[in-house]
Structure 1
Amino acid sequence: MLTSFFAKSKPINIALVILLLAGFFISANFQNWFLDFEILKFFKILGVFLSLMFALFLLNFVAKKNDLTQRSAYKVLLFSVFCASFSSLLKDYNIIISATLILLALRRIISLKSQISVQKKIFDAGLWICIASLFYFWSILFLLIAFVGIVIYSPRPKNWLIPVISAVCVYIIYCSIHLLVKDQFYLFSDCYQAYNFNFSNYQSFKFLTPISIILALTVWSLVYYFSIIQKAGVSLRPSLNLILFTLIIGISVGILAPSKNGSELIFFFIPLSIIVSNYFDTGRDKIFREILLIILILMPFGVLFIQD
């Protein structure tokens, strides 16, 4: 049974998930990576591929380290399946790097609960988020997560300024580099990406099919997630609420995204993988969970046969 196999996080489970995501990434980028071969482009795409693999391990680490899920492989499997269902996501190198940096920031924010090096962690989180915004502008919204982390874990007045200081530092450093390389100042207009509320691309069956399944799964899993939050201990509940708020920010980024091609959903998939993993960890209907997991695993393969 697949649910029993992925209920434990073992090297073989993680290896299979890596192979799954790697296979879809290579397939999506095969022509650009190998057929139109250029040495610099090859290493650029290789770097993006390694970044995606790192994001997979980082998601697993954050969830296990902070007891956000049980010690299963569901979260990495779900994240891989979600990403693999959108070839445009696997081809968007900037957004993959940005999402990886957001995961680094989320790791620092959740670790605030230890009350060790609080100001350093807030600064690091703000730094990662601001750097992520250089690759994908609307990821700057995740700065709200830093402020929520401050409210939850360390609401001291001086901590509120730290994310702002992080943003100023990133701007000064990047502006200096920009000035040296291009001999001109880096302005807000250089990074700003206009929001877009045109969702017509989602009407394509290639997008509509996986999105419909994922949204239905989200609603179903949230019912269980809210009950888990209610039952969670005092020390764990803030972290679970933070993941819920991260989901809201991920949805907001997707709504404001200038290009609606599915790649913007990666920010939504990060917290969703943790939330849905909790359902698979605690759900009682084993047969239903088994069928649902089979559907999710087959989803990216089925998308390959859907014509635009």
Structure 2
Amino acid sequence: MLSSFFSKSKPINFIIVALYMFVLYAIAYYKKGFTLNYSTLLMFFGGFMAYGLTMLAVNLITQKNDLTQKSTNTIMLFVFLTTILPSSLTNAALLLSNLFVVLGMRSVLNLRNGKHIKSNILDASLCIGVASIAYFWSIGFIAIVFLGIFYFEPKNYRNWIIPIIGLLIVYLISNCFTLLFYDSFFVITEYIEPISFSVEGYAYKGGVFSIGVLTICTLFFFTIYLIKFNRKPTKSKPFLKLIISQLLIAIAIVMIVPNKNTAEMVFIACPLAIIGTTYLEMDHGKFLQEINFWVFLLLPFMFLLF
């Protein structure tokens, strides 16, 4: 039974989920079409490594901070939400950016324990800065760092300066890199991307399908999450508010990025997977639970193969 399998958190669960990820990832690359050469293989395996590490980071965030029960429901949902966006699976830069955003979120949530506050803030800021090098508009998640400071350690004014310092460090290191290898400065005007509200990039069959499924999941999972929010323990509510904020920022980024093609929606996957786990953890009865899991497992195959 799938529901009983994913209700456990054992090494075999992660291995099977990783194999499932790899199959869908390989199908996405195959459908896109690529030639076998060194650079393509490097992007293929590098992208999958970033993808797999993001899955493990999502699981670490949920389990360490008690955002969900001890299970593999969240990572299964994460894989589902990313594989209905095949254009994101073939974009190694976006996968790398998403990995660093999730790692930055992990550091922000670590602020709760009250230890190494400044180092966690700096670490989160550096992660967001690196993520923005891979994909500029992921810099919007720096707002999560400031929200973390607001929720956990707002009184020390030095904490509010650290995120700016973190971004400056990334910019300076980027300049050192470009000077060393390209003999030029990392020009800030070339780094910043314009804002565009155009949705022409979604006007194809696959794009409409991806947006439709993701929109339904977002509205459905988010509504249930808000209904259940007041029943959550008080100590976990700052975490939950940060997850909700991460989702809203991801949606805002999707709305303003230029050259939209659904790949940018990958930032929605992590917070929505955590939010959606609330639905999977509800008692629906065995039959309905099985249907839910089969739909989440088979829908990406139907989309990628047909």
* Same structural fold, with TM-score higher than 0.5 when normalized by the shorter chain: yes
- Any conservation in 2 of the 1:129–1:143 contact (CA below 8 Å)? yes
Question: Structure 1 runs of 4+ off > 6 angstroms?
Answer: none
CA deviations over 1:81-121 (Å, ceiling 9, x no partner): 12112221111110000000011100000010000000000
Contact 1:98 1:139 in 2 (8 A): yes
Amino acid at match of 1:252: A
Q: Are 2:3 and 1:16 aligned?
A: no
How far did 1:257 drift?
1.9
Task: Say which is worse superposed, 238-247 or 189-198, in terms of deviation.
Answer: 189-198
User: Which residue matches 1:235?
Assistant: 235
Q: Is the contact between residue 102 and residue 129 of structure 1 (CA under 8 Å) also seen in structure 2?
A: yes
Is structure 2 residue 177 aligned with structure 1 residue 174? Answer: no
Q: By how many angstroms is 1:222 displaced?
A: 1.7
Map of 1:25 onto structure 2? 25
Give the deviation of 1:71 after TM superposition: 1.0
Q: Could you tell me how far 1:207 is from its partner in structure 2?
A: 2.2
- Summarize deviations over 1:53-106 as a string: whole Å, max 9, x none: 111111111111111111111111111112112221111110000000011100
| More deviation, 279-288/84-93 | 279-288
- Matched residue SS, 1:282: coil
Does residue 79 in structure 1 map to residue 78 in structure 2?
A: yes
Q: Tell me if structure 1 keeps the 8 A contact 2:7–2:70.
A: yes
Matched residue, 1:120: 119
Task: Give the letter aligned to residue 105 of structure 2.
Answer: L
Q: Which residue of 2 aligns with 1:258?
A: 258
Separation of aligned partners in 2, 1:296 and 1:40: 33
**Which of 99-108 and 278-287 deviates more?**
278-287
Moved more, 39-48 or 62-71: 39-48
Q: Give me the whole-angstrom Cα distance separating, in 1, the residues matched to 2:301 and 2:215.
A: 18
Query: Partner letter of residue 184 of structure 1?
Result: S
Residue aligning to 1:152: 151
Task: Tell me which residue corresponds to 1:99.
Answer: 98
Distance 2:211 2:287 in 1: 23
Kept after mapping to 2: 8 A contact 1:28/1:87: yes
Q: Which SS does the other structure have where 2:281 is aligned?
A: helix
TM-score, normalisation: structure 1:
0.93
Amino acid at match of 2:123: D
Alpha-carbon deviation of 1:283? 4.5
RMSD of aligned Cα (Å)? 1.9
Counterparts of 1:209 and 1:92 in 2: how far apart (Å)? 19
CA displacement at 1:221 relative to structure 2: 1.6
Aligned partner of 1:219 in structure 2 is 219
Which deviations, in whole Å up to 9, do the C-alpha atoms of 1:202-227 show, x marking residues without a partner? 34332222322222222222222123
Gapped regions of structure 2 (runs ≥ 5): none
Tell me the TM-score normalised to structure 2 length. Answer: 0.93
- Aligned pairs, number: 305
Could you tell me whether the CA contact under 8 Å between 1:72 and 1:281 is conserved in 2?
no
Call closer, same or farther: CA 1:31–1:281 in 2, change over 3 Å: closer
| 1:153-302 aligned within 5 A | 153-155=152-154, 156-284=156-284, 286-302=286-302
How far did residue 294 of structure 1 move? 2.2
Instruction: Between 188-197 and 59-68, report the one with greater CA deviation.
Output: 188-197
CA 287–211 in structure 1, closer or farther in 2 if over 3 Å, else same: farther
Mark the CA change 1:207 to 1:32 in structure 2 (over 3 Å): closer, same or farther. closer
Letter in 2 for 1:227: I
Maintained 8 Å contact 1:210/1:299? no
User: How much identity, in percent, do the aligned residues show?
Assistant: 30
Per-residue CA shift, 1:246-295, capped at 9, x if unaligned?
A: 00011111112222211101101110000001210125455444323322
CA distance in structure 2 between the partners assigned to 1:18 and 1:260 by the alignment: 28
Give CA-to-partner distance per residue, 1:105-145, whole Å, 9 cap, x none.
00000010000000000000000000110000000000000
Asked if structure 1 preserves the Cα contact closer than 8 Å seen for 2:74 and 2:277, the reply is yes
The gaps in structure 1 that reach 5 residues or longer are: none
